[in-house]
């Protein structure tokens, strides 16, 4: 149910908005019913509903909160032809594909990689997470992905953590902020029906002070959705057994006062925005803060069930915080076989009690839990 709605953003938004308008007394039983249906659909799935594809390790930035371990060389990245084999191996349609990295735009065959999943796995919702540089390649990639199939929807999240000069300093790349702004401007009117462009800001101790100016720029000039997320900090993965724990950045995160400031900023920024997608962003910030404070997940995690993580060279994990449990190159690129393997079951069992702040998994998890859905609808 959720996977199908997620692949059709307009339907998803309409369904959740209708639920929000119901009397409070009806929302709780509806959330319980919907969560039960979503869990049942998840149990019946023969493969992941979303593939988080780290399409490349290449990136000119060295962001301290990146989830890709620095200076790790595992061989050649999977080619577009190899991705076609991976997509063809899936035992069920893959509604959602998230392209990230590294910088995905540095893959000259990025459209061909996305096309493999559109053709072979029936993917209809593609998300691209990017710095927005190079600008022309961002525009060409968006056009190319939309041209793959008339039913494809594309979301492009462009990273911008401050006004251009501040963003350049934070990311260590002169001119990056100006390119990000240019990419947003070039993309926002490209295809209003099928393309959503979002500015994505990662907030840490070093860019909270200048955030108001960036928020005003996004609101008044760019006029696109503005997504906020907490910077990943050391120690923000809890109760994950050492034998399965993967790389996690060691940089300091936000302290309690700084997180409270982010939540206040978000409440102010979204005060007049009643869209469900915006309510979800607020819910995710509150839930991430809750995980950091309590060290516990607020509801069962769907990582490794709803989501799969494929690393650039073909290794497969249940989530980004975990070591790979299999190398698809050793299984003739058969992701379907790997997904049903004893190694996958063991990885899921080992992560049954952990907690983290990764927004992708918090998002899918809250949609499969009655309390999570009520948090979204409040």
Q: Write down the pLDDT at residue 348.
A: 95
CA distance 9 to 11: 6
Query: What is d(CA 155, CA 141) in angstroms, rounded to the nearest whole number?
Result: 12
Question: Which carries the bigger pLDDT value, residue 352 or residue 274?
Answer: 352
- Residue 79 vs residues 24, 84, 251, 322: alpha-carbon distances, Å: 50, 9, 32, 24
Fold of 2-377: TIM Barrel (3.20.20)
Residues facing 226 on adjacent strands = 199
pLDDT, tens only, 211-225: 999 999 999 999 999
Task: Kindly report the average pLDDT of the chain as a whole number.
Answer: 91
Report, as an integer, the average pLDDT of 194-204.
Answer: 95
Check if the beta carbon of residue 251 is closer than 8 Å to that of residue 270: no
DSSP E strand stretches across 231-377:
237-238, 307-310, 315-317, 326-327, 355-356
Residue 114 has pLDDT above 50, yes or no: yes
9 pLDDT band, cuts 50/70/90, is low
Residue 28's pLDDT is what? 81
Long-range Cβ contacts of 268-277 (<8 Å, 24+ apart): 269/215, 269/219, 269/226, 269/228, 274/20, 275/13, 275/17, 276/12, 276/13, 276/16, 276/17, 276/20, 276/376, 277/13, 277/225
What's residue 276's pLDDT?
75
Q: What is the pLDDT of residues 222-277, one digit of tens each?
A: 999 999 999 999 999 999 999 999 999 988 889 999 999 999 999 988 888 877 77
pLDDT at position 222:
96
- How much of the chain, in percent, has pLDDT values that exceed 90? 70
Domain extents for the chain?
2-377
The pLDDT of residue 313 is 96
The structure tokens 């501040």 sit at 166
The pLDDT tens digits for 46-104 are: 999 999 999 999 998 888 888 887 766 678 999 999 999 999 999 999 999 999 999 99
pLDDT in tens, 13-29: 677 777 777 777 777 88
User: Measuring CA to CA, how many Å separate 341 from each of 302, 332, 338, 346?
Assistant: 17, 14, 5, 9
Kindly report, residue by residue over 284-302, the tens digit of the pLDDT: 999 999 999 999 999 899 9
């Amino acid at each position: 149910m959720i996977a199908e709605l997620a692949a059709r953003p307009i339907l998803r938004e309409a369904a959740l908005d209708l639920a929000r308008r119901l009397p409070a007394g009806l929302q709780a039983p509806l959330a319980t019913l919907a969560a039960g249906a979503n869990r049942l659909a998840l149990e019946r799935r023969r493969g992941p509903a979303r593939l988080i594809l780290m399409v490349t390790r290449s990136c000119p930035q060295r962001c301290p909160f990146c989830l890709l371990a620095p200076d790790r060389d595992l061989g050649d990245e999977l080619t577009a032809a190899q991705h076609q084999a991976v997509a063809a191996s899936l035992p069920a349609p893959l509604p959602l594909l998230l392209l990230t990295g590294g910088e995905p735009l540095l893959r000259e065959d990025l459209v061909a990689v996305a096309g493999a999943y559109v053709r072979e796995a029936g993917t209809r919702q593609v998300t691209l997470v990017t710095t927005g540089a190079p600008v022309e390649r961002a525009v060409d990639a968006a056009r190319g992905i939309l041209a793959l199939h008339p039913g494809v929807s594309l979301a492009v999240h462009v990273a911008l953590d401050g006004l251009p000069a501040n963003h350049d300093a934070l990311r260590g790349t002169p001119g990056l902020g100006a390119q990000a702004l240019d990419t947003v401007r070039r993309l926002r009117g490209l295809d209003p029906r099928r393309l959503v462009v979002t500015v994505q800001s990662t907030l840490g101790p070093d860019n909270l002070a200048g955030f108001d100016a960036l928020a005003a720029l996004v609101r008044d000039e760019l006029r696109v959705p503005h997504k906020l997320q907490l910077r990943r900090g050391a120690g923000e993965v809890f109760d994950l057994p050492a034998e399965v724990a993967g790389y996690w950045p060691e940089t300091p995160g936000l302290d309690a006062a700084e997180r409270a400031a982010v939540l206040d900023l978000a409440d102010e920024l979204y005060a007049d925005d009643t869209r469900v997608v915006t309510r979800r962003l607020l819910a995710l910030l509150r839930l991430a803060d809750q995980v950091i404070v309590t060290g516990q997940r607020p509801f069962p995690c769907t990582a490794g069930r709803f989501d799969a993580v494929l690393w650039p060279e073909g290794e497969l994990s249940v989530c980004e915080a975990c070591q790979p449990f299999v190398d698809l190159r050793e299984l003739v690129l058969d992701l379907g076989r790997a997904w049903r393997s004893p190694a996958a079951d063991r990885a899921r069992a080992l992560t049954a009690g952990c907690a983290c702040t990764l927004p992708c998994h918090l998002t899918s998890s809250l949609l499969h839990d009655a309390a999570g859905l009520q948090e979204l609808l409040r």
